Structure 1
Amino acid sequence: MGPGETTTRTRRRAVPWVLLGLWVAVLAVVGPFASKLADVQHDRAVDYLPASADSTQVAKIEDRLPGGESTELVLVYHRDGGLSAADRATAARQVADIAGREPLTAPPKGVPSRDGTTLMYPVASSAPGTDEKKRDAFVDDVRDVARSANGMDVEVGGPGALATDASEVYGSLGGPLLYTTVAVVAVLLILIYRSPLLWLVPLAVAGVADYLSMGVAYGLHQAFGTTISGQSSGVMTILVFGAGTDYALLLISRYREELRRVERPYDAMRQALRGCAPAVLASSGTVAAGLLCLLAADLNSSRGMGPMGTVGVLCALVAMLTLLPAVLVVLGRRVFWPLVPAFGSEPRQRRSLFAAMGSSAGRRPLTVLVGGAVLLGALAVGALNLPGSLKQEDSFVDTPDSVAAMETLARAYPGQGTQPITVMAPTDRAGAALAEIRHHRGVAGADPGRSGKGWTEISVTAKGAPQSAAETATIKSLREDLDRGETEGSYVGGPSAQQIDLQDTNARDRLVVVPIVLVSVLLILIALLRSLVAPLLLVVAVVAVWGAALGIGGLVFGPLFGFEGTDPGLGLLSFVFLVALGVDYGIFLMHRMREESLNGSEPAAAALTALRTTGGVIASAGLVLAATFAVLTNMGLVQLVELGFVIAVGVLLDTFLVRTYLVTSASVALRRKVWWPGRLAREPQPPEPPETRPAPTVAVG
């Protein structure tokens, strides 16, 4: 061995250790920022509301008023047999105690129900302002005072209590979500690798990537004001572990193959990266581009989800293409024990499930294609059974105290408003606005509240029940009436108005974002696959998967899960994730199919070979990704359960039906046309027979 070769080997041995050192340095820098992510995570209504809506303007103006945002509660006193004089005295004493402890915006007034079983006291304070911790402390303090007495039920509801209960659920997501995700991925990796050590490596690297993503997300918030909510933070963690583990599965699978052909782990890893890195880079780039399309959304929560999801995917990508290879090379072949791939050995041949599936798709491709399309279409019809828009009180899986209070109010005050509508009017027009509101046919009462910074707050009670058709009509007509004449410039907000704006804005965002996602993904696929037909096939397939997954949701959300509504953002978010992630797997399959075609395989053979060679890895990756999103179904909020369910079901449909059967059968049926108009679409010309070639010209002279 010459000195030059010795130097080269020494450098190669040093490369993994240098990478590990760089990662240690990066984590040391990122660490202080990652720990601060929870401090900038907010789940107030204004953090989810559409940027341009009336309800958002109301929330922003409230922040500027003396004391900041108002925390509105409703104390509910109830006894089935009717409240006694002693009960009413107890209620009055407790409310007075609360007023003595907390600065309230107005003296509380009790409102008895007609049947005498219930007494409600609306209570509001601006002392907590925009500080969520102070708001939660205020709500907890009120709950401590308002306890059951002498058999009387006492509950605390209202927007502030609902927000506190939601914040408690979001606050509990971090630990349980992370631990459950890690446990699920660990179990799947142990089953896939059947090794006591190997499964730990990608899992640990994914954990490092998650830590890195937290630091980067905090930096984005500080630099650009990116909205960070419990929902977006949780989804970022899911994507880091789901997508990161997928990339690890592809890399490790290729690395295992190369270790049988290449003697040294460093050289085998170089070959593995050279083989699979282009597909991984292309797929992660497509996912990131799809998620960034959410920046076009007007809804704050959706717009913030785009950068957060992109950060998760890209951090997972960087970790799996740098840190994971370094760790694997340092550990050497023994990391695969007991199934160590020896140099020069041949893998044990086993009957491949995906070879059998491919053969069935190859024999009758049109039959398989039509049958699969009919099945997906039938499942998509179930989307018509999706329950209506989700109300605030129906957004919890379990029933917290705030929801129990709202249910009691709904029974005791049927058809009557029990939740305030907030109107913000310019102070110089507040008198005209108050008169207009009080004369409005859908309004039961209105009282002026705080004033400051040129604005006056008016608390309005509607005649209709919260989030009923009657109250919705009142809010919409109030907005029309107050937006003209002497009251022009007034805004109508509050919890019910926020729900209306969420629905309207989600409908608008679907019309804007969906075409952008489709066009962006299609253009990227055209550039990657150098074809028009193959990208169209993949895009149509993932859209069909999205429709079928929503349809399955419609069949189970109400009848099986007992959900009373569907989150307005479910359609858009599930579409973006399923299209981006579904195309991700499509790239793996089509990339291998194109590679086989370039090597001279016939179209049908190329499609079946691609399925046979990538099917197992794609199936494992799909199971991991579906399982990580399924973790959301164990969380306490209906919108998270619905999102996790639809994406998990969609990924499974894409992995085991669309990718294995429909895309493969379509590729077999289309043959070379699948690569049109690229050069692979043209039939190769056979060489000209020698006897037909013209004789060479001989110069005479």
Structure 2
Amino acid sequence: MTTLRRRPDTHSDSPGAAAGFLARYARMVSGRRSKWAVLLIWLVLISAGGSLAAKLGDVQDNDPETWLPSSAQSTQAVELAEKHFADKDSSTAIIIYARGGGLTDADRDKIAADRTALQDDIAVGDVAKPEVSEDGKAAFLSYPLRTSPSDNGVLTDAVSDSEDIVKKDAPDGLDIRIAGEAGSVRDFAEVYSGMDGALLGAALGVVALLLLLTYRSPVLWLIPLLTVFLASQVASGVVYLLAKHAGLLVNGLSAYILMILCVGVGTDYALLLIARYREELHRHADRHEAMQVAVRRSLPALAASAATVGVATLCLVFGSMNSTQGLGPVVAIGIAVVFLAMTSLLPALLVILGRWTFWPFVPRHTPGYDASAEKEHGTWARVAAAVGRRPRVIWAASIGVLAVLALGTTTVETGQTQAEQFTKSVDSVEGQHLLAKHFPAGSSAPADIYVPAAGADTALRTVQDVPGVESAESRRTAGGWTHLTAVFEDAPDSAAAKDTVERMRTALDKSEGESAEAVVGGQTAIVLDTSDAQKDEEMLLIPLILAVVLLMLILVLRAVVAPLVLLASVVVSFASAVGAASLLFHAIDYPRIDRGLLLIGFLFLVALGVDYTIFLMARVREEVKLRGHREGTLTGLTVTGGVITSAGVVLAATFCVLAAIPTVASLQQGLLIAIGILLDTFLVRSLLIPALSLSIGPRIWRPGHPEDEAPLPSERPAQTARVDVGT
């Protein structure tokens, strides 16, 4: 067979050492021999990571008090309880018995028998005498259960064993529920239990469908899907090792965000690389050379994207809450592993398998091929033409739409109650309703006050006089500290109960003697301290994330004006996403959000929103060097429109999979991020940014300009190349 040769295309946009590194890396992952070494390395990683990923659930910690900073009073209360008053670690369970017509003698006998059985077989402390309501229709038992910071299964099993005891031989018609902190933890554990495989399967199913629609090939979609699955397993394995041996805090939500992000972002990277590879297959007869160029041209944008998201999420380590600090490394690890897989394992697999994977639309070598010419009659060419005709009208209208949606932020409500945290009925919520119906609403979760023994009497009188306290009593003295409890008049997760905690703390701080050293804990205090910590984190982390993203954009685009414009656009887009999502939450009857949603939503929408802008503007900059500012901007939009839109739809659909978890927080998180991504994909990246770029003109690239940089030989389409045999 005749072989035509040309000098290998080894240049890149980056000068000097960077260009050399890009060329060497591209040759390594797609070389004729080195591709097999890459595949072997990943097989070793996958064999280890897969077995470890299955254990990730074993190291999750979903206890709310472990998320808080050590300075919070509720955290100090937990530490005092564990040190002096509890048998190591414990959590309070409440068993509620209710009968509409009033408790019968058989019911009361059952309650007494249950108390004895629980004391003998389950409780790690005293089971309190049954409290009977004034109307005689309900009663409850409270007692501590064993828990473990490193294994939530200990508490879950204890609650399940309690359930077996209290529901065995129960009189007909007696309603029995398990509530309290232990019941709530068990319900959350059951909600998340077994969801790993279901969520991963759902995410991969959504991605598979969208890849089929994108590629219209019965084979090609399998390759990126397999790669992202394997990458997610390696990432989960790394996170497991850090959680097991380095103290990294992982909870159920961060584990699922890791999984969803790996699948969604990995597919995005695959779409962009494969699209560029397909272009280069038209320009090069040899698929190895085509992949080398594709990797070299795609790698700077993909690396910038991964670095932006990774560094932005690592900002979370400066948060005050342990859960926030843990989420940053978890996400950064996932992004790093996915980036490496998509820029090494995926290219190796594609060149090993050859062109036939694109069947039936196999890209053939076409000398003089121009991607923009191929797309000149397509949808994105028409969009680009419309933007080019009236850029000022386009960006003004886009900002108008975003501003209208942002008005929805006025409807945002924070402060979810326990009853609002699940999308299905659970025992702990139903039990809380029964308690509120027959007892003071705060009976299920009294405040725990720990005070030096010398100040206990003063502290007790002070707490009893606080408005919102139904009753207070002294329970026990140990280790120089006295444990007081206070029952709220209101439900423990209500805003009124949180106000009572604040009044209690203020009153104790102003009291005389050692009572001023008292700390107030319990479930309500944990919720209050969590909300306060989240507010503090927003004030610190949001500006820090913006600064990091701005710096990354400046480094990527080698400009100042464009990064400022792009950063402003994603901030406006975030406000619009929050407004639109809030209106949707009201429409589906989940109006209140957890305060933490705002910070997490901001992080992902700013970081991921910038992603698509980086993909667009990196290609625009490349085209501007060849065609000038106006033509380069419109060409960049034309040739990237389809693939970036597909990437946005894939990522949005992947995050929607979080709605499968029956908690309101997961549903709202998935919907908020999906809405924001779609706004960035279809409005900000497609219309607003190109229109602003045209209106601002070449000044957007200040202080430099791509047109001032002489195009390198490699930036011209290849005309001939070595003929690829066996493709």
Normalised to the residue count of structure 1, the TM-score between the two structures is 0.91
Ranges in structure 1 where 5+ consecutive residues have no aligned partner: 685-701
Counterpart position of 1:530 = 558
**Residue-by-residue CA offset, 1:560-619 (whole Å, 9 max, x unaligned):** 2x2252111011000000000000110111111111222241x22222111101111100
1:557 aligns with 2:585: yes
**Helix, strand or coil for the counterpart of 1:75?**
strand
**Helix, strand or coil for the counterpart of 1:480?**
helix
Q: 1:117 aligns with which of 122, 137, 140?
A: 137
* Letter in structure 2 aligned against 1:145: I
Q: CA 1:665 to 1:239, structure 2 compared with 1: closer, same or farther past 3 Å?
A: same
Q: Would you say the 8 A contact 2:466–2:507 is kept in 1?
A: no
Aligned partners of 2:309, 2:107: CA distance in 1, in Å?
59
Counterpart position of 1:491 = 519
Q: Would you say the 8 A contact 2:477–2:483 is kept in 1?
A: yes
Alpha-carbon offset, residue 375 of structure 1: 1.1
* Letter in structure 2 aligned against 1:408: L
Q: CA 1:90 to 1:113, structure 2 compared with 1: closer, same or farther past 3 Å?
A: same
Q: Would you say the 8 A contact 1:249–1:617 is kept in 2?
A: yes
Q: 2:53 aligns with which of 26, 34, 41?
A: 34
* Pairwise CA RMSD: 2.6
* Aligned pairs for 1:386-405 within 5 A: 386-405=412-431
Alpha-carbon offset, residue 447 of structure 1: 4.1
Counterpart position of 1:577 = 604
Alpha-carbon offset, residue 72 of structure 1: 1.0
Ranges in structure 2 where 5+ consecutive residues have no aligned partner: 9-26, 711-727
Alpha-carbon offset, residue 431 of structure 1: 5.3
**Helix, strand or coil for the counterpart of 1:514?**
helix
* Letter in structure 1 aligned against 2:621: R
Q: Would you say the 8 A contact 2:498–2:528 is kept in 1?
A: yes
Q: Would you say the 8 A contact 1:672–1:682 is kept in 2?
A: no
Q: Would you say the 8 A contact 2:574–2:602 is kept in 1?
A: yes
Counterpart position of 1:205 = 227
Q: Would you say the 8 A contact 2:135–2:438 is kept in 1?
A: yes
1:619 aligns with 2:645: yes
1:143 aligns with 2:152: no
Alpha-carbon offset, residue 457 of structure 1: 3.7
Q: 2:126 aligns with which of 100, 103, 106?
A: 106
**Helix, strand or coil for the counterpart of 2:450?**
strand
Q: CA 1:176 to 1:30, structure 2 compared with 1: closer, same or farther past 3 Å?
A: closer
Counterpart position of 2:301 = 279
Q: 1:297 aligns with which of 286, 301, 319?
A: 319
Q: CA 1:241 to 1:531, structure 2 compared with 1: closer, same or farther past 3 Å?
A: same
**Residue-by-residue CA offset, 1:91-137 (whole Å, 9 max, x unaligned):** 3333333223223533423333343332222x122434544222111
* Aligned pairs for 1:191-202 within 5 A: 191-202=213-224
Counterpart position of 1:586 = 613
Alpha-carbon offset, residue 61 of structure 1: 3.5
Counterpart position of 1:54 = 73
Counterpart position of 2:340 = 318
Q: CA 1:248 to 1:626, structure 2 compared with 1: closer, same or farther past 3 Å?
A: same
Aligned partners of 2:40, 2:706: CA distance in 1, in Å?
45
Alpha-carbon offset, residue 648 of structure 1: 0.5
* Letter in structure 1 aligned against 2:611: D
* Aligned pairs for 1:422-501 within 5 A: 422-426=448-452, 429-430=455-456, 432-449=458-475, 455-483=481-509, 485-501=513-529
Q: Would you say the 8 A contact 1:358–1:612 is kept in 2?
A: yes
* Letter in structure 2 aligned against 1:406: Q
Counterpart position of 1:595 = 622
* Letter in structure 2 aligned against 1:132: N
Aligned partners of 1:93, 1:46: CA distance in 2, in Å?
33
Greater CA drift, 400-409 or 9-18: 9-18
Q: Would you say the 8 A contact 1:169–1:636 is kept in 2?
A: yes
Counterpart position of 2:723 = none
Aligned partners of 2:595, 2:362: CA distance in 1, in Å?
50
Q: Would you say the 8 A contact 2:449–2:519 is kept in 1?
A: yes
Alpha-carbon offset, residue 190 of structure 1: 1.0
Q: Would you say the 8 A contact 2:412–2:591 is kept in 1?
A: no
Alpha-carbon offset, residue 32 of structure 1: 5.0
**Residue-by-residue CA offset, 1:242-268 (whole Å, 9 max, x unaligned):** 111111111111111111111221111
Q: Would you say the 8 A contact 1:76–1:118 is kept in 2?
A: yes
Q: Would you say the 8 A contact 2:440–2:489 is kept in 1?
A: no
Q: CA 1:533 to 1:671, structure 2 compared with 1: closer, same or farther past 3 Å?
A: same
**Residue-by-residue CA offset, 1:331-357 (whole Å, 9 max, x unaligned):** 011111111112227686573222212
Greater CA drift, 623-632 or 35-44: 35-44
Counterpart position of 1:186 = 208
**Residue-by-residue CA offset, 1:154-185 (whole Å, 9 max, x unaligned):** 11111110111001112232111111111111
1:82 aligns with 2:98: no
Q: Aligned residues, how many?
A: 677
Alpha-carbon offset, residue 361 of structure 1: 1.8
Aligned partners of 1:641, 1:336: CA distance in 2, in Å?
36
Q: Would you say the 8 A contact 1:146–1:155 is kept in 2?
A: no
**Helix, strand or coil for the counterpart of 2:595?**
coil
Aligned partners of 1:330, 1:453: CA distance in 2, in Å?
69
Q: Would you say the 8 A contact 1:171–1:230 is kept in 2?
A: no
Aligned partners of 2:611, 2:243: CA distance in 1, in Å?
27
**Residue-by-residue CA offset, 1:482-538 (whole Å, 9 max, x unaligned):** 346312433211111111112111111111100001111111111221222211111
Aligned partners of 1:104, 1:211: CA distance in 2, in Å?
38
Aligned partners of 1:448, 1:69: CA distance in 2, in Å?
21
Q: Would you say the 8 A contact 1:387–1:558 is kept in 2?
A: no
Greater CA drift, 250-259 or 422-431: 422-431
* Letter in structure 2 aligned against 1:592: R
Greater CA drift, 129-138 or 347-356: 347-356
* Letter in structure 1 aligned against 2:567: V
Q: CA 1:349 to 1:362, structure 2 compared with 1: closer, same or farther past 3 Å?
A: closer
* Letter in structure 2 aligned against 1:584: D
Normalised to the residue count of structure 2, the TM-score between the two structures is 0.88
Aligned partners of 2:265, 2:709: CA distance in 1, in Å?
37
Q: 1:234 aligns with which of 256, 270, 292?
A: 256
Q: CA 1:269 to 1:63, structure 2 compared with 1: closer, same or farther past 3 Å?
A: farther
Q: CA 1:423 to 1:681, structure 2 compared with 1: closer, same or farther past 3 Å?
A: farther
Aligned partners of 2:531, 2:44: CA distance in 1, in Å?
46
Q: Would you say the 8 A contact 2:449–2:521 is kept in 1?
A: yes
Counterpart position of 1:153 = 175
* Letter in structure 2 aligned against 1:591: A
Counterpart position of 2:533 = 505
Aligned partners of 1:464, 1:289: CA distance in 2, in Å?
43
Q: Would you say the 8 A contact 1:365–1:666 is kept in 2?
A: yes
Q: CA 1:331 to 1:433, structure 2 compared with 1: closer, same or farther past 3 Å?
A: same
Counterpart position of 2:243 = 221
* Letter in structure 2 aligned against 1:106: D
**Helix, strand or coil for the counterpart of 1:575?**
helix
Q: CA 1:504 to 1:96, structure 2 compared with 1: closer, same or farther past 3 Å?
A: same
Q: Would you say the 8 A contact 2:435–2:443 is kept in 1?
A: no
Alpha-carbon offset, residue 230 of structure 1: 0.7
Q: CA 1:462 to 1:99, structure 2 compared with 1: closer, same or farther past 3 Å?
A: same
**Residue-by-residue CA offset, 1:304-325 (whole Å, 9 max, x unaligned):** 1111111111100000111111
Counterpart position of 2:594 = 567
**Helix, strand or coil for the counterpart of 2:241?**
helix
Counterpart position of 1:520 = 548
Aligned partners of 1:312, 1:523: CA distance in 2, in Å?
22
Q: CA 1:418 to 1:31, structure 2 compared with 1: closer, same or farther past 3 Å?
A: closer
Aligned partners of 2:385, 2:78: CA distance in 1, in Å?
60
Q: CA 1:93 to 1:339, structure 2 compared with 1: closer, same or farther past 3 Å?
A: same
